[in-house]
Chains A and B, each alone.
Chain A
Amino acid sequence: MLSRIAESLYWIGRYVERAEDTARILDVHLHRMLADPWVDEQTACRSLLGVMGAEAIEGPVSAARVVGLLGLDEHNPSSVVGALAAARENARGARETVSSEMWETLNATWHGLPDARRRVEQQGVHAFFRWVRERCSVLAGLTDATMSRDEGWLFLVLGRSVERVDMTARLLSTHVRAGGSIPSWLTLLRSCGAWETYLRTYRGSLDDRHAAEFLLLDRLFPRSVFAALSTAESCLADLEPDHGRAGVATDAQRIVGRSRTNLEFRGADELMADLGSVLSVLERTCSQVNDAVSRRYFRQTSAVLWVSEAVA
């Protein structure tokens, strides 16, 4: 597979996941701000911006401004709209590799963005975020249903998994920032669409230990950090059919594997006690994996600038 195409697929995976997760996070947090009379809008918005890596914003922030920055800014690939546009741009360059149905869905989503914006004005942000979640689910479904399980699929799922680890780690950070109060776990679990599953698993008990355990370590819930790391790990292993005899073949595998075992073999209590640093290590892990994958698979995919020269 062409390095450039592999890179595009990897980023389609990342951007679509980013769009969906950002939509989920914003949706639930904004909802809570409205529903909870004791929340200070300014502080809550600052905290949200901080977690999403947009601390540098100056001036007073409001819920509407957060929606503008993290939801609708088309030039920011970390906003919902920007991520969808970036995913579509990547798919445009990899069009013969993604299935036609996936491309059409991404393209139709992109064409639907102006309408969706109007919907924000008419029906509020919730309708918009729900639409984004649905579009992303359709896309995930089509990825599943129409893409061969070849290298391209591996890169796409790898990107998705790396992004998911990153986003879930950020999401958990909002809890750390909120000071660890119980209602914020509710928010977090809702963000991940994990609320019902969690309740079923732990029979309604809502304490820190269980909630953190669930989002970090659950083997079966696909949005847990552990599940996403495991998926990334198996994608990386499948990309290297020839794994040799000693250890693993690539840097990326080492980084992901270390991170996964670190979660797996430390007890939930220990992890919770040190949650802040566990999360920042996870975020760092994601960018290291990203670099390692780029180095190994996406070599020199930018154009060369030539200069002409002549001598008499």
Chain B
Amino acid sequence: MSASSWRLRVQHKTGFTYAGPVGASYNEARMSPRNESHQAVLDARVEVWPPARTYRYEDYWGTVVTAFDVHAAHETLQVTASATVETLPAGDLIAGDAGATWAELAVPETVDRWHELLLPTPRTALDEELTEVAERIRGEHPAPHAAALATCTLVREEVEYVPGATGVQTGAVQAWRQRKGVCQDISHLVVGLLRAMGTPARYVSGYLHPSPAAAIGEAVVGQSHAWVEWWVGRWTAFDPTNGIPVGERHVVVGRGREYGDVPPLKGVYSGPENSGQGVEVTVTRLR
């Protein structure tokens, strides 16, 4: 990797607490970054407590999944994912009016190729108001890429970033109506709006180092993060929550139509009520 790359160590601890002993639980963690053009994974592992044998596979979307089941009685379940990743800066960005045209995006072959990423999903479906917003933005911009950037700006201006304002089940419409949300909601809104315009778009889950001027060796509290990618002749990524291109501070874990395709940890258990869950992400810039 080039001299301007960063080396990041990410530790992601998450899990559940129950009101009493749980007899059995089956889970899947999507918490492992994988190698791709923008990042190189030096080391990645997932550990589970109580101890369980883990099974790794790559799902339909290409995300690395760690599956495990626990059969010893337990009152808390903890999953810890650690990874060391080299990341590159944003690289060559598409100029505002460049990229595919609306006509090019409407070619039947293109529509068929990205069909799955043009359809609404439960969390990205729009209501009438949002559909009109999409139409208006599309009308104002001759180039899809420029329209996408404008969409990101609009959503960021309209929806206030308020941690805890929404949950994992919240959809785009609800977040829009309350004008509050987190990175997940902002990304769902952008993805939904872009698809309504006819621009193929996907939801990305990963990690973000909070500081552009990170000190080397300092462990800071990071975030489990989400952003978006859209296709205008090629795929391009953008972080609408922070209004920045995706660069050396971002680590990609998974891509899909929405959160439901890339949840960091989900599963089923049999036992008493789930009384709590905690997420803790620590990011350290190593180089």
Q: Do chains A and B touch in the complex (CB under 8 A)?
A: yes
Contacts of B265 in A (CB 8 A): 310-311
Please, how many angstroms separate the alpha-carbon atoms of A307 and B16 in the complex? 13
CB contact list, B180-226 vs A, under 8 A: 184, 224
* Selected contact of A311 from candidates B24, B168, B270, B271, CB within 8 Å: B168
Contacts of B51 in A (CB 8 A): none
Q: A306-B269, A309-B266, A309-B274 are in contact. List 7 more A-B contacts (CB 8 A).
A: A306-B268, A309-B268, A311-B265, A311-B277, A311-B279, A312-B184, A312-B264
Contacts of B274 in A (CB 8 A): 307, 309
Q: Are A304 and B266 in contact (CB under 8 A)?
A: no
Q: Which residue of B lies closest to A310 (CB)?
A: B266
Q: How far is the CB of B203 from chain A (nearest CB, A)?
A: 13
Would you call the interface of chain A mostly helix, strand, loop, or mixed?
Answer: strand
Q: Is B153 an interface residue (CB 8 A)?
A: no
Q: Is B5 an interface residue (CB 8 A)?
A: no
Contacts of A308 in B (CB 8 A): 266-268
Contacts of A310 in B (CB 8 A): 168, 263, 265-267
Q: Is A1 an interface residue (CB 8 A)?
A: no
Q: How far is the CB of A140 from chain B (nearest CB, A)?
A: 41
Please, how many angstroms separate the alpha-carbon atoms of A245 and B34 in the complex? 58
Contacts of A305 in B (CB 8 A): 270
Q: Are B14 and A311 in contact (CB under 8 A)?
A: yes
Q: Which residue of B lies closest to A300 (CB)?
A: B23
What is the 8 Å Cβ interface bit string for chain A, positions 290-312, against chain B (1 contact, 0 not)?
A: 00000000000000111111111
**Size of chain A's interface in residues, with CB distance under 8 A?**
9
Contacts of B184 in A (CB 8 A): 312
* Selected contact of B268 from candidates A307, A311, A312, CB within 8 Å: A307
* Selected contact of A309 from candidates B16, B224, B259, B264, CB within 8 Å: B16
CB contact list, B1-54 vs A, under 8 A: 14-16, 24
Contacts of A304 in B (CB 8 A): 24, 270
Q: Are A311 and B269 in contact (CB under 8 A)?
A: no
Please, how many angstroms separate the alpha-carbon atoms of A181 and B224 in the complex? 84
Please, how many angstroms separate the alpha-carbon atoms of A306 and B16 in the complex? 15
24 contacts between A and B (CB under 8 A): A304-B24, A304-B270, A305-B270, A306-B269, A307-B268, A307-B269, A307-B270, A308-B267, A309-B266, A309-B268, A309-B269, A309-B274, A309-B277, A310-B168, A310-B263, A310-B265, A310-B266, A311-B15, A311-B168, A311-B264, A311-B277, A312-B184, A312-B259, A312-B263
Q: Which residue of A lies closest to B15 (CB)?
A: A311
Contacts of A311 in B (CB 8 A): 14-16, 168, 263-266, 277, 279
Please, how many angstroms separate the alpha-carbon atoms of A307 and B264 in the complex? 17
Q: Which residue of A lies closest to B167 (CB)?
A: A312
Q: Which residue of B lies closest to A304 (CB)?
A: B270
Contacts of B168 in A (CB 8 A): 310-312
* Selected contact of A312 from candidates B15, B24, B224, B270, CB within 8 Å: B224
